[in-house]
Structure 1
Amino acid sequence: MSTRTGTDVDKITLTLVHRQLVNTCDEMAVSMMRTAYSPIFSEGLDFSTLILDREGNLVANAGLNPSMLGASLYAATWIVREVGAENFAEGDVYIHNDPYRGGSHMPEHMMVMPMFVDGELVAFIGNIAHMAEIGGMAPGSFAATATDVYQEGLRLPPVLFYKGGEPVKDIWRIMLANHRTPNDSWGDLHAMYGSLQVGRRRLEQLMEERGTDLVTRVFSGIQDYTEAALRENIRALPDGVYHGIEWFDDDGITSTPHAIRLSLIVDGDEIIFDFSRSDPQATGPINAPYVVTMSASLNALLYMIGTDLPVNAGLNRPVRIVTKPGTICCVQLPGACVGGQTEYQPRVMEMIMGRVLGPLLPERAAASSGNTSLNFLFGGIDPRSGEYYAHYHFEATGWGGRMSTDGNNATMPPHANCRNTPVEIFELRWPWIHESYRLTRDEVGAGRLRGGAGVVRVLEVAADTISVSALSDRAHQEPWGLFGGSDGSRTRIDISPAGSEEFVSFQEHFGLVSPTKFTNVRLHRGDRVRLTSPSGAGYGPPAERVPDLVARDVREGYASPEEAESVYRVRLDASGDVDPVATARLREGTSA
Structure 2
Amino acid sequence: MTRTNTEELINRTVIANRLDSITKEMGLALEHSAHSPIFAEACDFACCICDKDGELVSQLSGIPILATAGSFSVQSVLRKYKDNIKNGDVFIINDPYDGGNHLPDIGIITPVFFEESLMFFCVSRAHHGDIGGSTAGSYNPKATEIFQEGIRIPPTKLMSNNEFIIEVLDMILINTRNPKMLKSDLLAQIGANKVAVKRILEMVEAYTPAVVNKAIAETLEQTEMLTRKRIREVPDGIYRATEYIDDDGYQEEPVKIEIAVKVEGDRLLVDFEGTDKQVKGFINTSVVTATTASGIAVLWFLGSDIPRNGGAFRCIDVNLPKGSLVNPYEPAPVTLCTLTPASEIIGTIFQALGQAGPGKVPAGYARYAGPSYYGKDPRNNRYYVGFSFCSTGSGGAMKGSDGKSYMSAMSNFGGVRTPNIESNEIQYPHITRYHEMETDTAGAGEYRGGAGMRYAFELYDEGSHIVNFGDGMKFAPYGLNGGHQGSLNKGVFLHTEKPVIMESKEAPRRVAKGDQVILNSSGGGGWGNPLDRPAEKVYDDVLDEIITIKTAVDIYGVVITEEGIDYDKTNKLRNGKKLCKN
**TM exceeds 0.5?**
yes
8 Å CA contact retained: 1:70, 1:292 = no
Matched, 1:250 2:237: no
Partner of 2:27: 29
CA distance in 2, matches of 1:538, 1:481: 5
Partner SS, residue 205 of structure 1: helix
8 Å CA contact retained: 2:230, 2:302 = yes
CA distance in 1, matches of 2:522, 2:515: 23
CA distance in 2, matches of 1:71, 1:424: 34
Q: Aligned partner of 1:498: which letter? A: T
The correspondence of residues 215-226 of structure 1 with structure 2, limited to 5 A, is 215-226=212-223
TM-score by length of 1: 0.94
Partner of 1:589: 576
Partner SS, residue 510 of structure 2: strand
Partner of 2:381: 386
8 Å CA contact retained: 1:145, 1:284 = yes
CA distance in 2, matches of 1:225, 1:468: 49
Partner SS, residue 277 of structure 1: coil
8 Å CA contact retained: 1:378, 1:391 = yes
Partner of 1:511: none
Matched, 1:147 2:148: no
Partner of 2:545: 557
Q: Deviations over 1:438-457 (max 9, x none)?
A: 11232111111111012221
Partner of 2:511: 523
Matched, 1:578 2:565: yes
Q: Aligned partner of 1:106: which letter? A: L
Q: Aligned partner of 1:195: which letter? A: A
CA distance in 2, matches of 1:62, 1:443: 33
Partner SS, residue 384 of structure 1: coil
Q: Aligned partner of 1:539: which letter? A: W
Partner SS, residue 294 of structure 2: helix
The correspondence of residues 3-402 of structure 1 with structure 2, limited to 5 A, is 10-84=8-82, 86-353=83-350, 355-370=351-366, 372-394=367-389, 395-402=391-398
8 Å CA contact retained: 1:323, 1:330 = yes
Partner of 2:439: 441
Partner SS, residue 507 of structure 2: strand
CA distance in 2, matches of 1:375, 1:325: 31
CA distance in 2, matches of 1:569, 1:198: 57
- Bigger Cα displacement from structure 2, 231-240 vs 443-452: 443-452
Partner SS, residue 142 of structure 1: coil
CA-CA distance at 1:33 after TM superposition: 0.4
8 Å CA contact retained: 1:136, 1:153 = yes
Q: Aligned partner of 2:571: which letter? A: A
Partner SS, residue 178 of structure 1: coil
Q: 1:8 to 1:89 in 2, by over 3 A?
A: farther
Partner SS, residue 438 of structure 1: strand
Q: Aligned partner of 1:105: which letter? A: H
Aligned length: 571
Partner SS, residue 14 of structure 1: helix
Where does structure 2 lack aligned partners over 5 or more consecutive residues?
Answer: none
8 Å CA contact retained: 1:73, 1:312 = no
Aligned Cα root-mean-square deviation (Å): 1.6
> Which residue of the other structure, out of 491, 494, 508, is the alignment partner of 1:493?
491
- Bigger Cα displacement from structure 2, 132-141 vs 359-368: 359-368
Partner of 2:460: 462
CA distance in 2, matches of 1:10, 1:302: 27
Identity of aligned residues (%): 29
8 Å CA contact retained: 1:296, 1:345 = yes
Partner SS, residue 339 of structure 1: helix
Q: Deviations over 1:330-382 (max 9, x none)?
A: 122000001111111111111211x2111222221221112x22242111111
Q: Aligned partner of 2:467: which letter? A: S
CA distance in 2, matches of 1:257, 1:572: 41
Matched, 1:407 2:403: yes
Partner SS, residue 213 of structure 2: helix
Q: Aligned partner of 1:432: which letter? A: H
CA distance in 1, matches of 2:576, 2:500: 41
> Which residue of the other structure, out of 547, 560, 581, is the alignment partner of 2:535?
547
CA-CA distance at 1:315 after TM superposition: 2.1
CA distance in 2, matches of 1:52, 1:566: 54
CA distance in 1, matches of 2:291, 2:88: 31
8 Å CA contact retained: 1:95, 1:111 = yes
Q: Aligned partner of 1:367: which letter? A: A
CA distance in 2, matches of 1:228, 1:556: 46
CA distance in 1, matches of 2:24, 2:262: 35
Q: 1:174 to 1:71 in 2, by over 3 A?
A: same
CA distance in 2, matches of 1:138, 1:405: 41
Q: Deviations over 1:406-453 (max 9, x none)?
A: 110001123211101221222111111111111123211111111101
Partner SS, residue 52 of structure 1: strand
CA-CA distance at 1:70 after TM superposition: 4.5
- Bigger Cα displacement from structure 2, 145-154 vs 306-315: 306-315
CA distance in 1, matches of 2:168, 2:436: 44
CA distance in 2, matches of 1:125, 1:241: 38
CA distance in 1, matches of 2:262, 2:9: 32
Partner of 1:4: none
CA-CA distance at 1:21 after TM superposition: 0.4
CA distance in 1, matches of 2:230, 2:51: 25
CA distance in 1, matches of 2:303, 2:98: 28
- Bigger Cα displacement from structure 2, 167-176 vs 218-227: 218-227
8 Å CA contact retained: 1:381, 1:388 = yes
CA distance in 2, matches of 1:165, 1:8: 40
Partner SS, residue 445 of structure 2: coil
Partner SS, residue 586 of structure 1: helix
Q: Deviations over 1:183-220 (max 9, x none)?
A: 11011000001011100000010011111211122222
Partner SS, residue 336 of structure 1: coil
Q: 1:453 to 1:574 in 2, by over 3 A?
A: same
8 Å CA contact retained: 1:450, 1:537 = yes
CA distance in 2, matches of 1:21, 1:337: 32
8 Å CA contact retained: 2:105, 2:128 = yes
CA distance in 2, matches of 1:272, 1:544: 35
TM-score by length of 2: 0.96
Q: 1:285 to 1:8 in 2, by over 3 A?
A: farther
- Bigger Cα displacement from structure 2, 447-456 vs 159-168: 447-456
CA-CA distance at 1:9 after TM superposition: 7.7
8 Å CA contact retained: 1:180, 1:390 = no
Q: Aligned partner of 1:579: which letter? A: D
